A and B are shown apart, each in its own frame.
Chain A
Protein backbone atom coordinates (compact mmCIF):
# COMPACT_ATOMS: atom_id res chain seq x y z
CA UNK A 1 0.00 0.00 0.00
CA UNK A 2 2.37 2.66 -1.16
CA UNK A 3 0.87 6.07 -1.59
CA UNK A 4 2.81 9.20 -2.43
CA UNK A 5 1.68 12.67 -1.42
CA UNK A 6 3.12 16.05 -2.24
CA UNK A 7 1.87 18.89 -0.09
CA UNK A 8 2.64 22.40 -1.32
CA UNK A 9 6.13 21.38 -2.38
CA UNK A 10 8.42 24.23 -3.42
CA UNK A 11 11.97 24.39 -4.64
CA UNK A 12 14.25 27.38 -4.85
CA UNK A 13 17.84 27.77 -5.96
CA UNK A 14 18.97 30.81 -4.07
CA UNK A 15 16.26 33.36 -4.77
CA UNK A 16 14.94 31.62 -7.87
CA UNK A 17 11.84 29.61 -7.16
CA UNK A 18 11.54 26.89 -9.79
CA UNK A 19 8.72 24.79 -8.31
CA UNK A 20 5.84 26.90 -7.05
CA UNK A 21 3.83 24.81 -4.63
CA UNK A 22 2.87 21.45 -6.11
CA UNK A 23 0.08 19.38 -4.52
CA UNK A 24 -0.94 15.91 -5.53
CA UNK A 25 -1.81 12.48 -4.19
CA UNK A 26 -0.77 9.30 -5.94
CA UNK A 27 -2.71 6.18 -5.07
CA UNK A 28 -1.30 2.77 -4.42
CA UNK A 29 -0.22 0.93 -7.61
CA UNK A 30 -0.97 3.99 -9.68
CA UNK A 31 1.19 4.99 -12.66
CA UNK A 32 1.49 8.77 -12.81
CA UNK A 33 3.32 10.56 -15.60
CA UNK A 34 4.68 14.05 -15.17
CA UNK A 35 4.96 15.69 -18.56
CA UNK A 36 6.09 19.08 -19.69
CA UNK A 37 8.57 20.90 -21.89
CA UNK A 38 12.25 20.92 -20.96
CA UNK A 39 13.02 23.22 -18.06
CA UNK A 40 9.51 23.01 -16.62
CA UNK A 41 10.83 21.51 -13.37
CA UNK A 42 9.58 17.95 -13.87
CA UNK A 43 12.95 16.34 -13.29
CA UNK A 44 13.60 18.52 -10.27
CA UNK A 45 10.28 17.44 -8.82
CA UNK A 46 11.12 13.77 -9.38
CA UNK A 47 14.58 14.20 -7.88
CA UNK A 48 13.01 15.78 -4.81
CA UNK A 49 10.82 12.70 -4.41
CA UNK A 50 13.94 10.56 -4.79
CA UNK A 51 15.84 12.53 -2.17
CA UNK A 52 18.51 13.74 -4.59
CA UNK A 53 17.39 17.35 -4.18
CA UNK A 54 16.41 19.02 -0.95
CA UNK A 55 12.84 20.22 -0.51
CA UNK A 56 12.75 23.99 0.06
CA UNK A 57 9.21 24.07 1.46
CA UNK A 58 6.28 21.72 1.81
CA UNK A 59 6.18 18.05 2.53
CA UNK A 60 6.67 14.79 0.66
CA UNK A 61 5.09 11.67 2.12
CA UNK A 62 5.58 8.07 1.09
CA UNK A 63 3.19 5.61 2.73
CA UNK A 64 1.99 8.50 4.90
CA UNK A 65 5.46 8.99 6.32
CA UNK A 66 7.26 12.31 5.93
CA UNK A 67 10.45 11.64 3.95
CA UNK A 68 11.86 15.14 3.42
CA UNK A 69 14.90 14.49 5.57
CA UNK A 70 15.52 10.87 4.56
CA UNK A 71 18.34 9.62 2.34
CA UNK A 72 17.19 8.10 -0.96
CA UNK A 73 17.79 4.58 0.27
CA UNK A 74 15.76 5.12 3.44
CA UNK A 75 12.76 6.19 1.36
CA UNK A 76 12.69 2.75 -0.25
CA UNK A 77 12.37 4.13 -3.74
CA UNK A 78 14.10 2.96 -6.90
CA UNK A 79 15.05 5.20 -9.76
CA UNK A 80 15.68 4.59 -13.46
CA UNK A 81 17.88 7.27 -14.99
CA UNK A 82 17.82 8.75 -18.44
CA UNK A 83 21.33 7.54 -19.29
CA UNK A 84 20.78 4.34 -17.28
CA UNK A 85 23.70 5.18 -14.92
CA UNK A 86 24.98 1.62 -14.98
CA UNK A 87 28.28 1.06 -13.21
CA UNK A 88 30.57 0.51 -16.21
CA UNK A 89 33.10 -1.74 -14.45
CA UNK A 90 30.52 -4.12 -12.96
CA UNK A 91 28.82 -7.05 -14.64
CA UNK A 92 25.07 -6.99 -15.22
CA UNK A 93 24.67 -9.23 -12.18
CA UNK A 94 26.76 -6.95 -9.96
CA UNK A 95 24.94 -3.89 -11.20
CA UNK A 96 21.63 -5.36 -10.14
CA UNK A 97 23.00 -6.82 -6.92
CA UNK A 98 24.81 -3.69 -5.73
CA UNK A 99 22.02 -2.21 -3.63
CA UNK A 100 21.26 -5.62 -2.13
CA UNK A 101 24.91 -6.08 -1.16
CA UNK A 102 24.89 -2.70 0.53
CA UNK A 103 21.71 -3.71 2.34
CA UNK A 104 23.68 -6.76 3.50
CA UNK A 105 21.29 -9.37 2.17
CA UNK A 106 22.44 -12.99 2.12
CA UNK A 107 24.20 -14.34 -0.96
CA UNK A 108 21.44 -16.81 -1.75
CA UNK A 109 18.74 -14.18 -1.41
CA UNK A 110 20.64 -11.76 -3.65
CA UNK A 111 21.13 -14.43 -6.30
CA UNK A 112 17.48 -15.44 -6.16
CA UNK A 113 16.26 -11.88 -6.54
CA UNK A 114 18.63 -11.00 -9.36
CA UNK A 115 17.90 -14.23 -11.22
CA UNK A 116 14.22 -13.59 -10.86
CA UNK A 117 14.46 -10.05 -12.19
CA UNK A 118 16.75 -11.17 -15.00
CA UNK A 119 14.22 -13.80 -16.05
CA UNK A 120 11.43 -11.26 -15.99
CA UNK A 121 13.46 -8.94 -18.21
CA UNK A 122 14.97 -11.65 -20.45
CA UNK A 123 18.47 -10.82 -19.26
CA UNK A 124 19.40 -14.24 -17.88
CA UNK A 125 22.06 -14.98 -20.51
CA UNK A 126 23.70 -11.57 -20.15
CA UNK A 127 24.35 -11.58 -16.41
CA UNK A 128 28.11 -11.92 -16.81
CA UNK A 129 28.47 -9.16 -19.39
CA UNK A 130 29.62 -5.61 -18.81
CA UNK A 131 27.24 -2.78 -19.72
CA UNK A 132 29.35 -1.75 -22.73
CA UNK A 133 28.75 -5.18 -24.27
CA UNK A 134 24.99 -4.64 -24.28
CA UNK A 135 22.66 -2.92 -26.72
CA UNK A 136 20.72 0.18 -25.74
CA UNK A 137 17.55 -1.76 -25.04
CA UNK A 138 19.39 -4.30 -22.92
CA UNK A 139 21.04 -1.56 -20.88
CA UNK A 140 17.63 -0.07 -20.35
CA UNK A 141 16.42 -3.45 -19.03
CA UNK A 142 19.37 -3.72 -16.67
CA UNK A 143 18.49 -0.31 -15.28
CA UNK A 144 14.95 -1.58 -14.78
CA UNK A 145 16.26 -4.75 -13.19
CA UNK A 146 18.33 -2.76 -10.76
CA UNK A 147 15.15 -1.01 -9.69
CA UNK A 148 13.07 -4.17 -9.46
CA UNK A 149 15.37 -6.29 -7.29
CA UNK A 150 15.04 -3.90 -4.40
CA UNK A 151 11.27 -4.42 -4.15
CA UNK A 152 10.80 -0.69 -3.64
CA UNK A 153 7.61 1.06 -2.58
CA UNK A 154 7.87 3.52 -5.46
CA UNK A 155 9.49 3.46 -8.89
CA UNK A 156 10.77 6.77 -10.20
CA UNK A 157 11.54 7.02 -13.92
CA UNK A 158 13.49 9.99 -15.27
CA UNK A 159 12.95 10.02 -19.05
CA UNK A 160 14.17 6.45 -19.28
CA UNK A 161 13.44 5.96 -22.97
CA UNK A 162 14.80 9.15 -24.47
CA UNK A 163 18.16 7.59 -25.41
CA UNK A 164 16.57 4.81 -27.47
CA UNK A 165 15.65 4.85 -31.13
CA UNK A 166 11.99 5.27 -32.06
CA UNK A 167 11.13 1.63 -32.64
CA UNK A 168 12.75 0.42 -29.45
CA UNK A 169 11.09 3.21 -27.54
CA UNK A 170 7.64 1.93 -28.48
CA UNK A 171 8.58 -1.61 -27.53
CA UNK A 172 10.12 -0.65 -24.18
CA UNK A 173 7.15 1.57 -23.43
CA UNK A 174 4.88 -1.45 -23.60
CA UNK A 175 7.27 -3.50 -21.50
CA UNK A 176 7.40 -0.86 -18.80
CA UNK A 177 3.63 -0.61 -18.74
CA UNK A 178 3.23 -4.38 -18.48
CA UNK A 179 5.91 -4.69 -15.84
CA UNK A 180 4.36 -1.98 -13.71
CA UNK A 181 0.94 -3.68 -13.93
CA UNK A 182 2.39 -7.08 -13.07
CA UNK A 183 4.46 -5.85 -10.16
CA UNK A 184 1.84 -3.40 -8.95
CA UNK A 185 4.35 -0.84 -7.77
CA UNK A 186 3.35 2.81 -7.46
CA UNK A 187 5.26 4.67 -10.17
CA UNK A 188 6.10 8.22 -11.16
CA UNK A 189 7.41 8.71 -14.67
CA UNK A 190 8.86 11.89 -16.11
CA UNK A 191 8.91 12.60 -19.83
CA UNK A 192 8.71 15.42 -22.31
CA UNK A 193 7.11 13.12 -24.89
CA UNK A 194 3.33 13.51 -24.76
CA UNK A 195 2.71 10.25 -26.67
CA UNK A 196 4.69 8.36 -24.04
CA UNK A 197 2.75 10.20 -21.36
CA UNK A 198 -0.65 9.42 -22.88
CA UNK A 199 0.06 5.74 -23.40
CA UNK A 200 1.74 5.02 -20.07
CA UNK A 201 0.00 7.01 -17.41
CA UNK A 202 -3.06 6.16 -15.40
CA UNK A 203 -3.01 9.85 -14.67
CA UNK A 204 -1.00 12.68 -16.18
CA UNK A 205 0.33 15.82 -14.62
CA UNK A 206 1.20 18.61 -17.02
CA UNK A 207 3.87 20.87 -15.56
CA UNK A 208 4.73 24.24 -17.01
CA UNK A 209 7.20 26.72 -15.57
CA UNK A 210 7.02 25.09 -12.16
CA UNK A 211 3.22 25.23 -12.01
CA UNK A 212 0.82 22.33 -12.40
CA UNK A 213 -1.38 23.06 -15.42
CA UNK A 214 -3.61 20.03 -15.08
CA UNK A 215 -3.67 16.67 -13.35
CA UNK A 216 -6.03 13.98 -14.61
CA UNK A 217 -6.54 10.92 -16.77
CA UNK A 218 -5.09 11.03 -20.32
CA UNK A 219 -8.58 11.13 -21.81
CA UNK A 220 -9.60 13.98 -19.49
CA UNK A 221 -6.63 15.97 -20.60
CA UNK A 222 -7.35 15.25 -24.23
CA UNK A 223 -11.05 15.92 -24.09
CA UNK A 224 -11.14 18.74 -21.61
CA UNK A 225 -7.79 20.53 -21.51
CA UNK A 226 -7.85 22.96 -18.60
CA UNK A 227 -5.69 25.51 -20.32
CA UNK A 228 -4.42 26.61 -23.66
CA UNK A 229 -1.01 25.20 -22.73
CA UNK A 230 -2.38 21.72 -22.07
CA UNK A 231 -4.52 21.92 -25.19
CA UNK A 232 -1.49 22.61 -27.35
CA UNK A 233 0.82 20.23 -25.52
CA UNK A 234 -1.39 17.13 -25.45
CA UNK A 235 -2.37 15.55 -28.74
CA UNK A 236 -0.47 15.05 -31.95
CA UNK A 237 -0.62 16.82 -34.31
CA UNK A 238 -1.31 19.66 -31.97
CA UNK A 239 -4.51 21.63 -31.70
CA UNK A 240 -5.28 24.52 -34.06
CA UNK A 241 -5.74 27.76 -32.16
CA UNK A 242 -7.65 30.60 -33.78
CA UNK A 243 -8.48 34.00 -32.28
CA UNK A 244 -12.15 34.82 -32.06
CA UNK A 245 -14.88 36.68 -30.31
CA UNK A 246 -17.79 35.13 -28.38
CA UNK A 247 -21.21 36.65 -27.89
CA UNK A 248 -24.74 35.28 -27.49
CA UNK A 249 -23.75 31.67 -27.85
CA UNK A 250 -21.85 32.24 -31.06
CA UNK A 251 -18.11 32.38 -31.66
CA UNK A 252 -16.95 34.51 -34.53
CA UNK A 253 -13.47 33.64 -35.74
CA UNK A 254 -11.11 36.39 -36.98
CA UNK A 255 -11.90 35.58 -40.60
CA UNK A 256 -15.60 36.05 -39.96
CA UNK A 257 -16.63 32.42 -39.76
CA UNK A 258 -19.27 31.85 -37.11
CA UNK A 259 -19.45 28.69 -35.04
CA UNK A 260 -21.99 27.70 -32.41
CA UNK A 261 -20.40 28.24 -28.96
CA UNK A 262 -21.49 28.37 -25.35
CA UNK A 263 -23.96 30.93 -24.21
CA UNK A 264 -21.99 31.54 -21.02
CA UNK A 265 -18.97 32.93 -22.78
CA UNK A 266 -18.55 36.45 -23.98
CA UNK A 267 -15.66 38.59 -25.17
CA UNK A 268 -12.30 37.81 -26.79
CA UNK A 269 -11.55 34.08 -26.86
CA UNK A 270 -9.12 31.65 -28.38
CA UNK A 271 -10.86 28.83 -30.18
CA UNK A 272 -9.15 25.43 -30.29
CA UNK A 273 -10.00 22.66 -32.73
CA UNK A 274 -8.02 19.44 -32.98
CA UNK A 275 -7.00 18.51 -36.56
CA UNK A 276 -8.79 15.17 -36.19
CA UNK A 277 -12.01 16.89 -35.15
CA UNK A 278 -12.52 18.59 -38.50
CA UNK A 279 -14.47 16.48 -40.98
CA UNK A 280 -14.76 16.99 -44.73
CA UNK A 281 -18.21 18.44 -45.31
CA UNK A 282 -19.13 20.36 -48.51
CA UNK A 283 -21.62 22.27 -46.38
CA UNK A 284 -19.10 23.02 -43.65
CA UNK A 285 -18.37 26.62 -42.72
CA UNK A 286 -14.61 26.27 -42.29
CA UNK A 287 -12.91 26.66 -45.67
CA UNK A 288 -9.25 25.69 -45.82
CA UNK A 289 -6.84 26.52 -48.61
CA UNK A 290 -4.55 23.54 -49.16
CA UNK A 291 -0.81 23.93 -48.54
CA UNK A 292 1.01 20.62 -48.34
CA UNK A 293 -0.31 17.15 -47.53
CA UNK A 294 1.71 14.68 -45.45
CA UNK A 295 0.93 11.01 -46.05
CA UNK A 296 1.08 9.03 -42.83
CA UNK A 297 -0.68 6.01 -44.30
CA UNK A 298 -3.40 5.60 -41.73
CA UNK A 299 -4.23 9.28 -42.12
CA UNK A 300 -3.30 12.29 -44.18
CA UNK A 301 -2.25 15.55 -42.63
CA UNK A 302 -3.22 18.58 -44.63
CA UNK A 303 -1.52 21.83 -43.70
CA UNK A 304 -3.01 24.99 -45.06
CA UNK A 305 -4.51 28.34 -44.16
CA UNK A 306 -8.00 29.43 -43.28
CA UNK A 307 -9.39 30.63 -46.59
CA UNK A 308 -9.28 34.37 -46.77
CA UNK A 309 -6.61 34.74 -44.10
CA UNK A 310 -3.06 33.67 -43.41
CA UNK A 311 -3.89 31.74 -40.23
CA UNK A 312 -2.19 28.34 -40.34
CA UNK A 313 -4.41 25.35 -39.77
CA UNK A 314 -3.95 21.59 -39.97
CA UNK A 315 -6.47 18.86 -40.64
CA UNK A 316 -6.13 15.09 -40.19
CA UNK A 317 -8.08 13.14 -42.77
CA UNK A 318 -8.50 9.44 -42.11
CA UNK A 319 -6.97 7.15 -44.76
CA UNK A 320 -4.94 7.94 -47.85
CA UNK A 321 -5.63 11.10 -49.87
CA UNK A 322 -3.34 11.88 -52.79
CA UNK A 323 -2.36 15.50 -52.74
CA UNK A 324 -3.29 16.08 -56.39
CA UNK A 325 -6.77 14.66 -55.80
CA UNK A 326 -7.53 17.10 -53.01
CA UNK A 327 -9.32 20.32 -53.88
CA UNK A 328 -7.43 23.55 -53.43
CA UNK A 329 -10.08 24.82 -51.07
CA UNK A 330 -11.91 22.30 -48.90
CA UNK A 331 -14.78 22.82 -46.52
CA UNK A 332 -14.95 21.27 -43.08
CA UNK A 333 -17.35 21.15 -40.20
CA UNK A 334 -16.38 20.80 -36.56
CA UNK A 335 -17.34 17.52 -34.88
CA UNK A 336 -19.48 17.50 -31.79
CA UNK A 337 -17.53 18.53 -28.65
CA UNK A 338 -14.70 19.49 -31.01
CA UNK A 339 -14.57 23.17 -30.15
CA UNK A 340 -12.58 24.27 -27.08
CA UNK A 341 -12.72 27.84 -25.90
CA UNK A 342 -10.11 29.58 -23.82
CA UNK A 343 -10.10 33.01 -22.31
CA UNK A 344 -7.41 35.54 -23.19
CA UNK A 345 -5.32 34.44 -20.18
CA UNK A 346 -5.35 30.83 -21.38
CA UNK A 347 -7.93 29.34 -19.01
CA UNK A 348 -10.61 27.03 -20.32
CA UNK A 349 -14.05 28.64 -20.46
Chain B
Protein backbone atom coordinates (compact mmCIF):
# COMPACT_ATOMS: atom_id res chain seq x y z
CA UNK B 1 0.00 0.00 0.00
CA UNK B 2 1.17 3.37 -0.79
CA UNK B 3 0.40 6.37 1.33
CA UNK B 4 0.64 8.88 -1.49
CA UNK B 5 -0.58 8.97 -5.02
CA UNK B 6 2.09 8.22 -7.54
CA UNK B 7 2.41 10.98 -10.07
CA UNK B 8 4.80 9.82 -12.79
CA UNK B 9 5.30 13.32 -14.37
CA UNK B 10 5.89 15.20 -11.17
CA UNK B 11 9.70 14.82 -11.00
CA UNK B 12 10.56 16.43 -14.38
CA UNK B 13 8.00 19.14 -13.76
CA UNK B 14 9.56 19.99 -10.44
CA UNK B 15 12.98 20.05 -12.09
CA UNK B 16 11.77 22.41 -14.79
CA UNK B 17 10.12 24.62 -12.22
CA UNK B 18 13.32 24.67 -10.20
CA UNK B 19 15.32 25.54 -13.31
CA UNK B 20 13.00 28.39 -14.19
CA UNK B 21 13.14 29.65 -10.64
CA UNK B 22 16.93 29.50 -10.52
CA UNK B 23 17.13 31.33 -13.88
CA UNK B 24 14.83 33.98 -12.53
CA UNK B 25 16.92 34.25 -9.39
CA UNK B 26 20.10 34.46 -11.46
CA UNK B 27 18.64 37.19 -13.60
CA UNK B 28 17.51 39.04 -10.52
CA UNK B 29 21.01 38.85 -9.08
CA UNK B 30 22.85 42.15 -9.41
CA UNK B 31 26.03 40.51 -10.64
CA UNK B 32 24.23 38.79 -13.53
CA UNK B 33 22.59 42.00 -14.61
CA UNK B 34 25.91 43.76 -14.39
CA UNK B 35 27.54 41.05 -16.45
CA UNK B 36 24.87 41.23 -19.13
CA UNK B 37 25.10 44.98 -19.28
CA UNK B 38 28.87 44.92 -19.65
CA UNK B 39 28.74 42.08 -22.16
CA UNK B 40 28.77 44.40 -25.22
CA UNK B 41 31.87 46.08 -23.84
CA UNK B 42 33.49 42.76 -23.02
CA UNK B 43 32.84 41.59 -26.57
CA UNK B 44 34.17 44.84 -27.98
CA UNK B 45 37.32 44.61 -25.89
CA UNK B 46 37.75 40.97 -26.87
CA UNK B 47 37.59 41.85 -30.54
CA UNK B 48 39.52 45.12 -30.44
CA UNK B 49 42.06 44.43 -27.69
CA UNK B 50 42.41 40.80 -26.70
CA UNK B 51 42.44 39.35 -30.20
CA UNK B 52 45.00 41.89 -31.53
CA UNK B 53 47.12 41.37 -28.41
CA UNK B 54 47.29 37.63 -28.99
CA UNK B 55 47.75 38.14 -32.70
CA UNK B 56 50.73 40.42 -32.07
CA UNK B 57 52.12 37.77 -29.70
CA UNK B 58 51.82 35.31 -32.55
CA UNK B 59 53.42 37.76 -35.01
CA UNK B 60 56.33 38.36 -32.65
CA UNK B 61 57.24 34.69 -32.90
CA UNK B 62 57.58 34.71 -36.69
CA UNK B 63 60.53 35.53 -38.92
CA UNK B 64 60.62 38.66 -41.08
CA UNK B 65 58.78 37.09 -44.01
CA UNK B 66 56.25 35.61 -41.54
CA UNK B 67 56.71 32.09 -42.87
CA UNK B 68 58.71 30.49 -40.08
CA UNK B 69 58.28 30.18 -36.30
CA UNK B 70 61.33 31.60 -34.55
CA UNK B 71 60.18 31.53 -30.91
CA UNK B 72 61.98 34.26 -29.01
CA UNK B 73 64.34 34.89 -31.93
CA UNK B 74 63.05 38.42 -32.52
CA UNK B 75 63.58 39.37 -28.89
CA UNK B 76 67.07 37.88 -28.91
CA UNK B 77 67.79 39.94 -32.01
CA UNK B 78 66.44 43.10 -30.39
CA UNK B 79 68.51 42.64 -27.25
CA UNK B 80 71.66 42.85 -29.37
CA UNK B 81 70.63 46.12 -31.04
CA UNK B 82 72.09 49.36 -29.78
CA UNK B 83 69.10 51.32 -31.10
CA UNK B 84 66.66 49.11 -29.20
CA UNK B 85 68.30 49.88 -25.86
CA UNK B 86 68.33 53.55 -26.82
CA UNK B 87 64.57 53.28 -27.38
CA UNK B 88 64.07 51.50 -24.03
CA UNK B 89 66.05 54.22 -22.25
CA UNK B 90 64.18 56.99 -24.03
CA UNK B 91 60.77 55.47 -23.41
CA UNK B 92 61.54 55.31 -19.69
CA UNK B 93 62.90 58.87 -19.61
CA UNK B 94 59.93 60.11 -21.63
CA UNK B 95 57.24 58.34 -19.60
CA UNK B 96 58.68 58.84 -16.12
CA UNK B 97 59.63 62.50 -16.60
CA UNK B 98 56.33 63.33 -18.24
CA UNK B 99 54.23 61.52 -15.61
CA UNK B 100 56.14 63.09 -12.69
CA UNK B 101 55.70 66.60 -14.08
CA UNK B 102 52.09 66.00 -15.09
CA UNK B 103 51.33 64.82 -11.56
CA UNK B 104 53.19 67.71 -9.97
CA UNK B 105 51.61 70.36 -12.17
CA UNK B 106 48.20 68.69 -11.87
CA UNK B 107 48.51 68.68 -8.07
CA UNK B 108 49.52 72.33 -7.86
CA UNK B 109 46.88 73.53 -10.32
CA UNK B 110 44.21 71.41 -8.63
CA UNK B 111 44.97 73.23 -5.37
CA UNK B 112 44.74 76.60 -7.07
CA UNK B 113 41.41 75.71 -8.66
CA UNK B 114 40.13 74.23 -5.38
CA UNK B 115 40.81 77.52 -3.67
CA UNK B 116 38.98 79.59 -6.28
CA UNK B 117 35.48 80.61 -5.05
CA UNK B 118 32.85 78.12 -6.26
CA UNK B 119 31.18 80.72 -8.44
CA UNK B 120 34.07 81.16 -10.86
CA UNK B 121 35.51 77.67 -10.53
CA UNK B 122 33.60 76.05 -13.38
CA UNK B 123 34.99 78.55 -15.89
CA UNK B 124 38.58 77.83 -14.82
CA UNK B 125 38.04 74.09 -14.80
CA UNK B 126 36.73 74.26 -18.36
CA UNK B 127 39.59 76.39 -19.61
CA UNK B 128 42.24 74.26 -17.93
CA UNK B 129 40.80 71.13 -19.50
CA UNK B 130 41.15 72.46 -23.05
CA UNK B 131 44.58 70.88 -23.82
CA UNK B 132 43.24 67.49 -22.78
CA UNK B 133 40.09 67.83 -24.85
CA UNK B 134 41.72 68.77 -28.15
CA UNK B 135 42.80 65.68 -30.13
CA UNK B 136 46.57 65.46 -29.56
CA UNK B 137 47.31 64.97 -33.26
CA UNK B 138 45.80 68.38 -33.92
CA UNK B 139 47.32 70.25 -31.01
CA UNK B 140 50.73 68.71 -31.70
CA UNK B 141 50.61 70.16 -35.20
CA UNK B 142 50.29 73.59 -33.63
CA UNK B 143 53.29 72.79 -31.42
CA UNK B 144 55.18 71.63 -34.51
CA UNK B 145 54.72 75.07 -36.03
CA UNK B 146 55.82 76.68 -32.80
CA UNK B 147 58.97 74.52 -32.83
CA UNK B 148 59.49 74.70 -36.63
CA UNK B 149 63.23 74.44 -37.40
CA UNK B 150 63.31 77.57 -39.52
CA UNK B 151 60.25 79.58 -38.57
CA UNK B 152 59.73 78.86 -34.88
CA UNK B 153 57.40 81.33 -33.19
CA UNK B 154 59.20 80.66 -29.91
CA UNK B 155 62.56 81.53 -31.45
CA UNK B 156 61.06 84.65 -32.98
CA UNK B 157 59.84 85.76 -29.55
CA UNK B 158 63.07 84.80 -27.81
CA UNK B 159 65.08 86.75 -30.38
CA UNK B 160 63.67 89.98 -28.88
CA UNK B 161 65.49 89.07 -25.67
CA UNK B 162 68.68 88.16 -27.48
CA UNK B 163 68.14 84.44 -26.87
CA UNK B 164 68.42 81.65 -29.42
CA UNK B 165 67.73 80.40 -31.94
CA UNK B 166 67.07 77.17 -30.04
CA UNK B 167 67.08 73.96 -32.11
CA UNK B 168 63.83 72.71 -30.55
CA UNK B 169 63.66 69.58 -32.67
CA UNK B 170 67.12 69.58 -34.25
CA UNK B 171 69.27 68.81 -31.22
CA UNK B 172 68.87 65.53 -29.32
CA UNK B 173 68.46 67.08 -25.85
CA UNK B 174 66.18 69.88 -26.98
CA UNK B 175 64.10 67.46 -29.03
CA UNK B 176 63.62 65.23 -25.97
CA UNK B 177 62.68 68.29 -23.96
CA UNK B 178 60.17 69.38 -26.62
CA UNK B 179 58.33 66.06 -26.88
CA UNK B 180 58.16 65.74 -23.09
CA UNK B 181 56.93 69.32 -22.78
CA UNK B 182 54.08 68.73 -25.22
CA UNK B 183 53.13 65.52 -23.44
CA UNK B 184 53.02 67.33 -20.11
CA UNK B 185 50.94 70.12 -21.62
CA UNK B 186 48.50 67.58 -22.98
CA UNK B 187 48.31 65.30 -19.93
CA UNK B 188 48.48 67.65 -16.92
CA UNK B 189 44.76 68.62 -17.10
CA UNK B 190 43.80 64.97 -16.60
CA UNK B 191 45.75 64.88 -13.34
CA UNK B 192 44.34 68.24 -12.39
CA UNK B 193 40.72 67.13 -12.73
CA UNK B 194 41.31 63.83 -10.93
CA UNK B 195 43.12 65.52 -8.07
CA UNK B 196 40.48 68.21 -7.88
CA UNK B 197 37.77 65.59 -7.49
CA UNK B 198 39.87 63.89 -4.84
CA UNK B 199 40.51 67.17 -2.99
CA UNK B 200 36.82 67.89 -2.86
CA UNK B 201 36.19 64.56 -1.15
CA UNK B 202 38.60 65.24 1.72
CA UNK B 203 36.39 65.98 4.78
CA UNK B 204 36.74 69.55 5.96
CA UNK B 205 36.74 68.35 9.60
CA UNK B 206 40.17 66.81 9.11
CA UNK B 207 41.62 70.20 8.19
CA UNK B 208 39.80 71.78 11.12
CA UNK B 209 41.23 69.16 13.46
CA UNK B 210 44.69 69.70 12.00
CA UNK B 211 44.34 73.46 12.44
CA UNK B 212 43.34 72.96 16.07
CA UNK B 213 46.45 70.80 16.52
CA UNK B 214 48.47 73.70 15.17
CA UNK B 215 49.44 72.11 11.83
CA UNK B 216 50.97 74.50 9.33
CA UNK B 217 50.24 74.57 5.57
CA UNK B 218 52.87 72.00 4.72
CA UNK B 219 51.84 69.64 7.56
CA UNK B 220 48.23 69.80 6.43
CA UNK B 221 49.25 68.75 2.93
CA UNK B 222 51.65 66.06 4.12
CA UNK B 223 49.52 64.54 6.91
CA UNK B 224 45.99 65.16 5.65
CA UNK B 225 45.71 65.87 1.93
CA UNK B 226 48.29 63.44 0.59
CA UNK B 227 47.22 60.40 2.64
CA UNK B 228 43.61 61.02 1.63
CA UNK B 229 44.59 61.31 -2.05
CA UNK B 230 47.02 58.40 -2.09
CA UNK B 231 44.84 55.92 -3.94
CA UNK B 232 43.79 58.44 -6.55
CA UNK B 233 47.42 59.46 -7.05
CA UNK B 234 48.44 55.81 -7.49
CA UNK B 235 45.67 55.00 -9.94
CA UNK B 236 46.16 58.14 -12.05
CA UNK B 237 49.90 57.59 -12.08
CA UNK B 238 49.48 54.04 -13.30
CA UNK B 239 46.92 55.02 -15.88
CA UNK B 240 49.05 57.88 -17.16
CA UNK B 241 52.18 55.75 -17.18
CA UNK B 242 50.46 53.24 -19.44
CA UNK B 243 49.15 55.90 -21.79
CA UNK B 244 52.43 57.82 -21.88
CA UNK B 245 54.52 54.70 -22.49
CA UNK B 246 52.27 53.83 -25.41
CA UNK B 247 52.30 57.37 -26.82
CA UNK B 248 52.69 57.64 -30.55
CA UNK B 249 51.15 60.77 -32.01
CA UNK B 250 53.15 63.45 -30.21
CA UNK B 251 56.57 62.02 -31.05
CA UNK B 252 55.55 60.96 -34.54
CA UNK B 253 54.31 64.44 -35.44
CA UNK B 254 56.98 66.48 -33.70
CA UNK B 255 60.19 64.63 -34.50
CA UNK B 256 59.39 61.26 -36.10
CA UNK B 257 61.93 59.85 -33.66
CA UNK B 258 64.81 62.05 -34.79
CA UNK B 259 67.35 63.49 -34.66
CA UNK B 260 69.51 60.36 -34.80
CA UNK B 261 66.73 58.26 -33.18
CA UNK B 262 67.06 60.26 -29.97
CA UNK B 263 63.32 60.76 -29.43
CA UNK B 264 62.04 57.36 -30.54
CA UNK B 265 59.82 55.59 -28.04
CA UNK B 266 58.40 52.08 -28.32
CA UNK B 267 55.37 52.88 -30.46
CA UNK B 268 57.16 55.16 -32.93
CA UNK B 269 60.08 52.78 -33.34
CA UNK B 270 57.72 49.83 -33.73
CA UNK B 271 55.96 51.74 -36.51
CA UNK B 272 59.27 52.63 -38.16
CA UNK B 273 60.52 49.05 -38.06
CA UNK B 274 57.23 47.24 -38.58
CA UNK B 275 55.25 49.31 -41.06
CA UNK B 276 57.75 51.57 -42.81
CA UNK B 277 60.55 49.00 -42.75
CA UNK B 278 58.27 46.11 -43.72
CA UNK B 279 59.36 43.96 -40.74
CA UNK B 280 56.03 43.41 -38.98
CA UNK B 281 57.23 40.64 -36.59
CA UNK B 282 60.06 42.81 -35.31
CA UNK B 283 57.70 45.78 -34.96
CA UNK B 284 55.30 43.57 -32.97
CA UNK B 285 58.17 42.46 -30.73
CA UNK B 286 59.18 46.06 -30.06
CA UNK B 287 55.66 47.08 -29.09
CA UNK B 288 55.20 43.98 -26.91
CA UNK B 289 58.27 44.92 -24.93
CA UNK B 290 56.18 47.60 -23.25
CA UNK B 291 54.08 44.90 -21.61
CA UNK B 292 56.56 43.52 -19.03
CA UNK B 293 57.68 47.03 -18.06
CA UNK B 294 54.12 48.18 -17.50
CA UNK B 295 53.18 44.93 -15.78
CA UNK B 296 55.95 45.40 -13.23
CA UNK B 297 54.89 49.02 -12.67
CA UNK B 298 51.26 47.95 -12.29
CA UNK B 299 52.12 45.25 -9.75
CA UNK B 300 54.06 47.69 -7.58
CA UNK B 301 51.49 50.47 -7.74
CA UNK B 302 48.42 48.28 -7.26
CA UNK B 303 50.05 46.24 -4.49
CA UNK B 304 50.50 49.45 -2.57
CA UNK B 305 46.81 50.23 -2.96
CA UNK B 306 45.82 46.81 -1.61
CA UNK B 307 48.08 47.25 1.39
CA UNK B 308 46.46 50.47 2.37
CA UNK B 309 43.04 48.99 1.70
CA UNK B 310 43.76 46.20 4.20
CA UNK B 311 45.12 48.60 6.77
CA UNK B 312 41.91 50.53 6.58
A, B bound: no
Residues of B at the A interface (CB closer than 8 Å) are: none
Residues of A at the B interface (CB closer than 8 Å) are: none
